[in-house]
Every structure is written in C-alpha cells, then in structure tokens.
Chains A and B, each alone.
Chain A
Amino acid sequence: MKETFWEKNKRAICNLALVLVLLAAVIAIDLLAPTTSMWFSVLRKVFTFALAAVSMNLLNGFTGLFSLGQAGFMLLGAYTYAIFTIPVELRASVFRNYGASLIQFQMPIVPALLCAGIVAAVFAFLIGLPVLRLKSDYLAIATLGFAEIVRGLVQLQNFGPLTNGPDPINKFTAPEHIWIYALIAGTCILLIILIVNSTYGRAFKAIRDDEIAAEAMGINLASHKQLSFITSSFFCGIAGAMLAMCNSSVSSVSFTTSMTYQILLVVVIGGIGSISGSMIAAFIYYASSEWWLKFLDLETYTAAGARVPLLGPGFRMVVFSVLIMIVVLFFRTGIMGTREISVYDFFAKLFSKKGGAAK
C-alpha cells in the first residue's frame, strides 16, 4: 500500500521537495542578504510576473485563446488592492486633489488580494460574453482595446474620488519581505496547476487541440472559454496587486500594452503550455533585464581610462533583445515546450546514465 502511494505520487512529492528547497532559499535570502541587495527588487518582480505569465498561459497556452488583455486586468487588480489597503488616516493626503476618498475603510492584505482578483474576474465576465465569440487575432485586438480603455477610464477626473484620477496612488500596504511575494504567487500557481490537471483542465486542452471535436464530446465551448477567461483574469488581477506592492505606488501609466507583450514574451520563452517554463522564464527574463545586464547601461572605462565602446544608457535593451531573438530561434517551442519540470525524472535519468556507464 505504501509503495503504491509512492509510485503514484513520486513526481509530485519530488517536485514539492524542490519547491520547499526554493522557499527555504527565498527565506534565507530574506534574512541574510544585505538590504541593498538586488535580490529583493528582482525577486519581487520575478514572483509577480511569474504569476502573471502562468495565468496568461492558462488562457493562451492551455485553452488556446489568444488574449492580450493582461495589462488591463492587472491594472484593475492593482487599483483595487491599492484603494482598499490605504490606512484610513492617510486617505485624505493621498486623495488631496479630490477632497476625500470614496472608500473609508482599510482591508488586510489577504481580503484585498481576493478583491483584486474578483474585480478583474467580474470585468472578464462582462467583456467575455461578447469578446470570446471572436477568433484568434480579433480576440487579441478586442482584449488589447479593452486594456487601453480601462487605462483611459481610471485616469478620468470624474473617477477621482475612487481612483485618484491621473495621480498615482501610494501609502498603501506594501510588504517588504520577499517570502510574502513567494507565498502569494506560489499559492496562486499551485491552484492553477491543480485546475490544469483537473477535469476542467482537460476540457480546456481539448478546446485548444480541436474545438469541433471538443464540442462533439459534449464540452460547451462558450461556457468553458468563459470559465478559463475569468479564472485567468482572476489570477492576473492578483498579479496586478503584487505589482502594486512591488512598486509601492500605482499609476495607470505603467500598465501599458508593452507590459502585456513582456508577459507574452515570458510565456513564449518558457514554452506555451508549460507552467514551470513560465516560471523559469520569468526568473531569467527579469533577473537579466533588471540585474545581470544592468552593467551594459553604465558608461564603463578600462584601466587605461579609455571608454568601452557601445556601453551606455539603452545598450542593455539592445543586447537583451538580441538574446531573446536567439532564444526564440534556437528553442522554437520555448525552453520547456509543453513539458513540465520533473525532479524525479531528472534524477532517475541521471542515475540510470551513471549506472549504465559503470557497467
């Protein structure tokens, strides 16, 4: 009985072990690294965008719906979270241009995060009905349009008492510890993994593989697409709230279409249809663009005092773009394709190879 339990769950158990090791590493960094360390700002971003990418993957990769509304849903989540977590006594100073804040209470982090997800999900529900009838490119354009409309709307003076108009919102609760970010993203990604591997996940994949066959097997296309869209947007909203925490300030100008493209890039680099791929790609992408390649933006001088050519502001993005092109050219289906990381299979392969060599 014991053996069958292990046999059945060995991959999950080994992956869980990996997650625990990583979590321990995050806590260790949190406790031991100097406060000036790049680890803090980079890891916060990595966790935020890992969640954004995985939730985009749920929709684009697993259900095959090419939506580009991520920035819009993240904006909704970020604003919701920020508005609900400003301490009551600070509201007057934040909303000084609009007299007072419409909302006069403060929520703890977890309910505020849930609200962020729910607001994004409600908007997804509303626009999903008309928009999800559209096919591929048209769906992408419609969702892109939605994101821009949302961005324009929150800046309106009329919504000032709620959204602070074009002025940024700040002074809301923004946790410092990176393990908090790891925990939020980890919990959400775990839920997405559970969904993808459930009967609903299979239905989503069926729709992606062949809509006509899926429908003929009794899967209602409209309701399942809607379900996937709402779920993905819910987690996107939470990722938006995390982004608000990272920046400790929310302003509609930062939720541009190029942010959606960044997330799309992470999904494509990681592998469309691979959750662990999205997470690995999020780490590589943000660690290199925000940290490892930062030196390229500095004007550097050799020991002899001559300026190193090319290095200077903006050069980082050139190198970065070239690297991305190389990755996409050499890994046609992203780093992971549609596979997932399996610690067990990795070690099993490693040991079987070694065993083979010994003989």
Chain B
Amino acid sequence: MSERPCVLHAENISMQFGGVLAVHDLTMDVYEHEVVALIGPNGAGKTTAFNAITGVYEPTNGAVWFCGEKIIENHPQGKMKKLYAGGHNGEYRHVIAKTPDRLTKLGMARTFQNIRLFKSMTVFDNVLTAKHLRRTSNLFTAALRLNYKEEARQRKETLELLELVGLADVKDELATSLPYGKQRKLEIARALATNPKLLLLDEPAAGMNPQETVELSEFIVEIRKKFDLTILLIEHHMNLVMDISDRIYVIDFGKEIAAGTPAEIQSNQRVIDAYLGVADDE
C-alpha cells in the first residue's frame, strides 16, 4: 500500500465547537486509487471531518496534505486556546486555510449528505456549471461569446458525462424534480465534472433501497476505474462499505476506534460494540 503515492494525509485533525469536540485527533491516509470508507454511528463526527478536510470549516487543530501539498493547518486561537480539549496542542504553528473552491481546483470534489443541487437549474446546467472552474474566459470574452469553442467543448463533455451516468434522458428537467436516487447520482456527476483526483462522498446511498444501493456500489467502482479516481466515502449501508472499500476507518465520538480492511473491521470487537451492534438493533 505504502509505495503508492498518498493523495490525502490528514494529521491530528480536531474540530471543536464551543465545548463539543466533534472530531478528536483524527489521522487518516488515503492512497492513490483506493476506496476508503469513514464509518461511525450517527453524530460520530464524520461529516464534520469531511468539512474540515474540504475547507468548509477550519479545523481547530491539525494539518491536511493533498497530493503532497499542505492545504490546511491550524492551531487553537483566541478563546479556543483555553477551551481546547484535544491533543497535539502546540505541534502546529502555521495557519493555512484554503477555501473550498481552491481545493476543488486542486482536484478535490465532494457531494453532500443533504443533497445540495442548484435548484433553479436543469440537470444539464447543474453539471455544466461545475465546469466553470476550468474556464479560460473572463467576463468580457464570455459575454461577447468569444469563448464559444470552450463553451461548445464543455457542453459536449457535459453531455458525455450525463450519458455515462445514465441521466442524459432527463437532462432538460429541473434537477430537483428528479427522484431521490437520481439526484444523488447527479450530485456525483456534478462533482466529476470538476475533474477531481479525489472524490469525497457523504452518504451517497442515504435514502436508497437495497436494489439502488447495489447499483450505486457498481456505479462507484465503475467511475473509479473510468476516471482514475481515489475515493473517500462516508456510508451507513454496511453492505456497500464492505463490498467496495479497500480500507475502513471507524470513528466514534470524533475519535478513531479502529482502522483496517473490511474483514478486520467486521471482526473487531470495539467496532461491533460501538457501531455494528447499534446498527443491528435498528
């Protein structure tokens, strides 16, 4: 595993809201072409960890590297100096906070747990808009249509992408009028349109029935191959996680309680106590 280049390296990430330590000294590595899952009970801090890695939140403490470049670093400041309850205090001295748009430009793209499509736009425009970040035009050239070649190319690529994910037949419909499963797929397609190296999926199968979930895992495997992706995903559907992940991190109360291959995780007593036991009861 380790001879592959490391795409994402998060180190001692802590995210504290007031007195709540939502993510606690989380360290994880994602290597090229891997599918890594981040699992844990409800409220464990998975989405918060995603937000801290993708620049939505500035973590309270810790650092993140993406493809060897340090993209995020922070240490407790102001009131947090006294309040901070996590570890590794004082190890990080710089403040680096790249905004989400810059991280997306570098090659990170994500989806959201509560679907966030552009609701006034068609399916086609949702995907096309995600190509805006690779533009070479400025406002003048775009307004005067001097960028027509680029625009035509982007439209062609958008159509191809929609055909690939199987949404071409609904391309002119309003994104929010699609059924739930297709909206999730569209969100993935929109993220793919930014040409990412690393795709982060926050509960892509939420609200899907078993049939749709199986299709989704096939779909994820397929796009990983086709687009040469590295994938980090949060998911509650254990079948999907065990099927497609190379490695799994399990967190509870913001802290890592286990890490390893699906087989290792399935037989880990702490995980069964904290998570799988709970899931079985539901």
Contacts and interface: CB of A to CB of B under 8 A. Distances in A.
A54 to B, nearest CB: 14
B118 A199 contact: no
Nearest to B150: A199
How big is the A interface, by class? 20 to 34
27 contacts: A191-B143, A194-B143, A195-B142, A195-B143, A198-B145, A198-B147, A199-B137, A199-B142, A199-B154, A200-B132, A200-B142, A202-B121, A205-B121, A205-B129, A208-B120, A209-B118, A212-B56, A215-B99, A215-B100, A216-B54, A216-B56, A216-B116, A217-B104, A217-B191, A218-B133, A219-B129, A221-B99
Contacts of A195: 139, 142-143
Contact of B130 (A205, A208, A217): A217
- A203, A210, A213 — which one has the most chain B CB atoms within 10 A of its CB? A213
B88 interface: no
A220 B100 CA distance: 8
A263 B121 CA distance: 26
Nearest to A220: B101
Nearest to B145: A194
A227 interface: yes
A231 interface: yes
How big is the B interface, by class? 35 or more
A338 interface: yes
A206 interface: yes
Contact of A217 (B119, B132, B144): B132
Closest 8 CB pairs of A and B: A218-B133, A218-B104, A213-B116, A198-B142, A209-B118, A217-B130, A215-B100, A202-B129
Contacts of A214: 118, 129
B128 A213 contact: no
A205 B142 CA distance: 15
Contacts of A205: 118, 120-121, 129
Interface string B127-168: 011111101010100111101000100100000000000000
- B119, B137, B142, B145 — which one has the most chain A CB atoms within 10 A of its CB? B142
A338 B100 contact: no
B46 interface: no
Given A194-B145, A206-B118, A219 B125 contact: no
A216 B109 contact: yes
A212 B118 CA distance: 10
Contacts of B105: 218
Contact of A200 (B128, B131, B143): B143
Contacts of B104: 215-218
- B56, B121, B129, B139 — which one has the most chain A CB atoms within 10 A of its CB? B129
A49 B252 CA distance: 59
A257 to B, nearest CB: 29
Contact of B139 (A208, A213, A231): A231
Given A210-B116, A216-B109, A203 B139 contact: no
B132 A212 contact: no
Nearest to B138: A200
B153 to A, nearest CB: 12
A214 B105 CA distance: 13
Nearest to B141: A198
Given A206-B132, A209-B118, A214-B118, 13 more contacts: A198-B137, A202-B125, A203-B129, A209-B120, A209-B121, A210-B117, A212-B100, A213-B118, A215-B56, A216-B104, A217-B133, A218-B105, A220-B101
B235 to A, nearest CB: 19
Interface string B70-90: 000000000000000000000
B230 interface: no
Nearest to A203: B132
Interface string A177-216: 0000000000000010011001110110110111011111
A194 B144 contact: yes
B24 interface: no
- A191, A200, A338 — which one has the most chain B CB atoms within 10 A of its CB? A200
Contacts of A216: 54, 56, 100-101, 104, 109-110, 112, 116
Interface in A3-28: none
A213 B117 contact: yes
B12 interface: no
A199 B147 contact: yes
A337 to B, nearest CB: 11
B48 interface: no
B147 A217 contact: no
Contacts of B9: none
B60 interface: no
